[in-house]
Amino acid sequence: MSFIESLTLTLALIYSCSLLYWSGKRWGAVVSAASLLGAALVTLYWPLFVALLLAAGVLALAHRYQGDFVKGEVRANTLREGIQHLLALSMLLVGIQYAANAVMLKLGITPYLMRPDVGDAFLPIAGAIELKAILTLGIWDQNHPAAAVMLTVVILTGLLCKRAFCGWACPLGLAGEYLYKLRKRFIKRELLPPAWLDWPLRMLKYLLLAGLLYIVLGMPSASIPHYLEGNYHKIADLKMALFFVTPGLITLACFAVILLLAAWRRQGFCRYICPYGALLGLTSFLSPFKIRRSTQHCLIETKGMNCDKCTRACPANIKVHQQGTVRSDECQACMRCVSACPKQEALHFSTRNGIKLSARGLTIMLLLLLFMIPLIAYVGGFWVSQTPTEIRMYLIQHLGAIGH
Ligand code: SF4
Ligand code: SF4
């Protein structure tokens, strides 16, 4: 685990502990803090200890100057944006470290900056093949174990809290939001497609997901061990990086379409193209937590008013004020509708039997899922790639010649 991974992980988990503590779940805070300390002691990995101290220091400073944020007593929008920006910053630093590692390998220098394994989160097909190997053959891949871990984590977030990963954690979603805002500075109008076009466009991401699933499910189980031991899999991350760094004309055209989509309409990339969005959209149907409108408190039913503030706040253009339960696969659990509602108790992110999840609760759930599972995987020896550096150094020199 690289230092940036250690720091982000400890900061996120200490922040979860703090939120648990301030929400009165003192035992939850103690158990989380003890798990984190236990993990550092079991692994005796010095960056975890240093990161633990640094993270505690950062949180103490934040507590001093941003007390409300640390206690989660800020508006949901502020909390969500804070989490999104912190995770995006962390991914940026991870990207810089990854690039430095790859450049050193390419130059034949033994890297003194290690490869951050969390980058394997960008290998969803490898992750899915690894999960298939675990489930059908009982084989645990040792080249990119973090790919399977991160895919599991993302699926779990969908099963538990809808598309909160898209709305609260994904750096691409945040980048799309900025692109959209930039476009709005020059062209003020909303440029929403008509409903007859919107629906087929939304299905595009499901088609892409189906294509990826076809690759994974169509691969015979018997050939998986050969694939996992092959050179292509060992440097699948470098192949992916090369694809982005040296794009061909078709790839550039695809990038342009993606950027245009993101700028054209809010969440355009998440809504129309992203296969992760499709996967989370499907799993989100099973999530027990959904946005629910109480007709006993909503101004429409109680006062006969024409309120639609929740709908106007929704970036996914869901007609919240006309629904009792928002089941849409486009709902990212962003809670903008809840924040916009003038009537307390009218709108909640809750289960059918009334268990409510506040923005603070959702933050805790998300951070624990995103960081506790990788920590357990790390302690269990299923996170760090076991591919020897010399092999990666050799393979990176022959990157172009290595195929499936
Ligand atoms: S329904 Fe509410 S939580 Fe879901 S996307 Fe719209 S604003 Fe966000
Ligand atoms: S904003 Fe609140 S009060 Fe208004 S329609 Fe939506 S749920 Fe009802």
pLDDT above 90 for 166: yes
Note the ligand closest to the C-alpha atom of 313: 1
The answer to whether residues 130 and 209 belong to one domain is: yes
Enter the DSSP assignment of 400.
G
State how far Cα 160 lies from the chain centre.
14
Task: State mean pLDDT over 184-212.
Answer: 90
Ligand 1 site, residue 326, Cβ cutoff 6 A:
yes
Based on its alpha-carbon atoms, the radius of gyration of the chain, rounded to whole angstroms, reads 22
Ligand 1 site, residue 316, Cβ cutoff 6 A:
yes
CA of 19 to the centre of ligand 2 (A): 28
Average pLDDT, the chain: 88
Domain holding 351, by residue range, is 290-356
CA of 80 to the centre of ligand 1 (A): 13
Ligand 2 site, residue 346, Cβ cutoff 6 A:
yes
Task: State mean pLDDT over 324-348.
Answer: 93
pLDDT (0 to 100) of residue 403: 67
pLDDT (0 to 100) of residue 279: 95
Count of domains forming the chain: 2
Can you tell me the distance from the alpha carbon of 384 to that of 318, in angstroms, rounded to the nearest whole number? 41
Does the residue 24 lie in any domain? no
Q: Of all residues in the chain, what percent carry a pLDDT higher than 90?
A: 41
pLDDT tens, position by position, 291-303:
999 999 999 999 8
Task: State mean pLDDT over 133-150.
Answer: 92
pLDDT above 80 for 321: yes
- Nearest atom within ligand 1 for CA of residue 162: 4
CA of 350 to the centre of ligand 1 (A): 13
The answer to whether residues 147 and 263 belong to one domain is: yes
Ligand 2 site, residue 307, Cβ cutoff 6 A:
yes
pLDDT above 70 for 180: yes
Lowest mean pLDDT: which of 41-55, 162-176, 376-390? 41-55
Alpha helices in 324-397, H assignment, sequence order: 336-340, 359-379, 389-397
The answer to whether residues 154 and 231 belong to one domain is: yes
pLDDT above 90 for 313: yes
What letter represents residue 336's amino acid? Answer: R
pLDDT above 80 for 172: yes
Can you tell me the distance from the alpha carbon of 154 to that of 58, in angstroms, rounded to the nearest whole number? 27
Tokens of 344: 């307390």
The answer to whether residues 164 and 215 belong to one domain is: yes
Can you tell me the distance from the alpha carbon of 123 to that of 148, in angstroms, rounded to the nearest whole number? 9
* Phi/psi at 352 (5° precision): -60, -35
Does the residue 140 lie in any domain? yes
Does the residue 106 lie in any domain? no
The answer to whether residues 266 and 295 belong to one domain is: no
Residue owning the nearest CA to atom 2 of ligand 2: 341
Q: Is pLDDT larger for residue 402 or for residue 277?
A: 277
Burial of 28 (0-12, 13-18, 19+ CB in 10 A): middle
Does the residue 100 lie in any domain? no
Q: Is pLDDT larger for residue 18 or for residue 404?
A: 18
Tokens of 293: 């409108």
pLDDT above 70 for 25: yes
128, 154 Cβ separation under 8 angstroms: no
pLDDT above 90 for 330: yes
CATH number at residue 318: 3.30.70
Ligand 2 site, residue 291, Cβ cutoff 6 A:
no
The answer to whether residues 171 and 212 belong to one domain is: yes
Task: State mean pLDDT over 135-143.
Answer: 91
Q: Which of 11, 10, 117, 7 is nearest to 381 (CA)?
A: 117
Q: Which of 44, 59, 34, 35 is nearest to 1 (CA)?
A: 44
Residue from 165, 284, 331 whose mutation best tests the ligand 1 pocket (most atoms within 8 A of CB): 331
CA of 185 to the centre of ligand 1 (A): 24
Q: Is pLDDT larger for residue 7 or for residue 313?
A: 313
What letter represents residue 361's amino acid? Answer: G
pLDDT (0 to 100) of residue 22: 81
pLDDT above 80 for 144: yes
List all residues 6 or more positions away from 141 whose beta carbon is below 8 Å from its beta carbon. Answer: 130, 133, 147, 148, 228, 233
Tell me the pLDDT band of 322, cut-offs 50, 70 and 90: very high
Does the residue 372 lie in any domain? yes
pLDDT tens, position by position, 31-73:
888 888 887 788 777 888 888 888 888 888 888 877 777 777 7
The answer to whether residues 228 and 298 belong to one domain is: no
pLDDT (0 to 100) of residue 404: 66
Residue owning the nearest CA to atom 6 of ligand 1: 314
What letter represents residue 7's amino acid? Answer: L
Ligand 1 site, residue 164, Cβ cutoff 6 A:
no
Does the residue 38 lie in any domain? no
Does the residue 8 lie in any domain? no
Can you tell me the distance from the alpha carbon of 88 to that of 324, in angstroms, rounded to the nearest whole number? 34
pLDDT (0 to 100) of residue 264: 87
Residue from 294, 310, 318, 319 whose mutation best tests the ligand 2 pocket (most atoms within 8 A of CB): 310
The answer to whether residues 319 and 386 belong to one domain is: no
pLDDT tens, position by position, 199-226:
999 999 999 999 999 999 988 888 999 9
pLDDT (0 to 100) of residue 319: 94
Ligand 1 site, residue 314, Cβ cutoff 6 A:
yes
Helix axes 195-218, 275-284, angle to 10 degrees: 90
Residue from 290, 291, 292, 293 whose mutation best tests the ligand 2 pocket (most atoms within 8 A of CB): 293
Alpha helices in 189-274, H assignment, sequence order: 195-218, 224-229, 231-234, 236-245, 249-264, 268-272
Task: State mean pLDDT over 355-380.
Answer: 90
pLDDT (0 to 100) of residue 80: 92
List all residues 6 or more positions away from 39 whose beta carbon is below 8 Å from its beta carbon. Answer: 48, 375, 376, 378, 379
Q: Which of 341, 356, 371 is the last residue in one of the domains?
A: 356
pLDDT tens, position by position, 103-138:
998 888 888 888 889 888 989 999 999 999 999 999
The answer to whether residues 269 and 215 belong to one domain is: yes
Q: Are strands 325-326 and 290-293 parallel, antiparallel or unpaired?
A: antiparallel
Ligand 1 site, residue 146, Cβ cutoff 6 A:
no
Can you tell me the distance from the alpha carbon of 368 to that of 32, in angstroms, rounded to the nearest whole number? 9
pLDDT (0 to 100) of residue 28: 82
pLDDT above 80 for 247: no
Q: Which of 320, 341, 356 is the last residue in one of the domains?
A: 356
pLDDT above 90 for 149: yes
Does the residue 15 lie in any domain? no
CA of 152 to the centre of ligand 2 (A): 35
What letter represents residue 134's amino acid? Answer: I
Ligand 2 site, residue 293, Cβ cutoff 6 A:
yes
316, 328 Cβ separation under 8 angstroms: yes
Place of tokens 């993990």: 39
The answer to whether residues 327 and 199 belong to one domain is: no
51, 44 Cβ separation under 8 angstroms: no
The answer to whether residues 305 and 179 belong to one domain is: no
The answer to whether residues 128 and 208 belong to one domain is: yes
